[in-house]
Amino acid sequence: MVKKEILDTAPNNQLIRNTLQKADLLLDSYKNPVCSISGGSDSDVMLDLLERVRNGRKITYVFFDTGIEYQATKNHLNDLEAQYGIEIVRRRAKKTVPVGCKEYGVPFLSKMDAMYIGRLQKKNFDWQDDTFDGMAKKYSNCVSALKWWGNGYGEKGRFQISTHAGLKEFMLDTPPNICN
């Protein structure tokens, strides 16, 4: 149970008070709780929340270093450790993001790509390679997404699937089946 002193120091906001109580209950329900810390504002808030209700219970904080973090982020982790008197365990990726990109290509899709995939999914798209005209007949009101899929923006088009090496082949072999 969250100590009365903690709730008394919390802002007069029921959402914050409920969140403190939920965090307290969650800590009680796990034998070895782990909290991922990125060094960003959301994880800072989570860390502060957990530290307010921890009351001597064990929590393992972990930072996953992908090889693309700023030095300022790493310095901030040191500041958090000093401020809260905690240890943040650092784990380095076996293969950093830059190395993975060199070996396999850029894995990140843009919001635009995700939007096109979502539009096609909503139309129950067949994830096949067909002509634009054939697809346009079957999937109306999806012109921009179909152009993205069929590389209809020309050789130099930035917003089409060909800008992601191997993505179309992967999607043809492994069609997305994410629920809408």
Please tell me whether residues 97 and 11 are part of one structural domain: yes
Give the chain's radius of gyration (CA, Å). 23
Please tell me whether residues 15 and 89 are part of one structural domain: yes
**How do the pLDDT tens digits run along the chain, 180 residues long?**
677 777 777 778 888 888 888 998 899 899 999 999 999 999 999 999 999 999 899 999 999 998 889 999 999 999 999 999 999 999 998 988 888 877 776 665 777 888 888 889 888 898 988 888 889 888 888 899 999 998 888 777 778 888 888 888 988 888 877 554
Q: Of 92, 18, 96, 94, which is closest to residue 53 (Cα–Cα)?
A: 18
Residue 68 resides in a domain: yes
Instruction: Provide the whole-model pTM.
Output: 0.60
Q: Of 116, 109, 108, 126, which is closest to residue 177 (Cα–Cα)?
A: 126
Q: In the numeric block, which tokens belong to residue 104?
A: 């396999």
Q: Of 57, 48, 44, 52, which is closest to residue 4 (Cα–Cα)?
A: 52
Contact 21, 49 (CB under 8 A): no
Number of domains in the chain: 2
Please tell me whether residues 41 and 84 are part of one structural domain: yes
Identify the domain containing residue 138 by its residue range.
Answer: 109-173
Residues 64-111 pLDDT 10s: 998 889 999 999 999 999 999 999 999 998 988 888 877 776 665 777
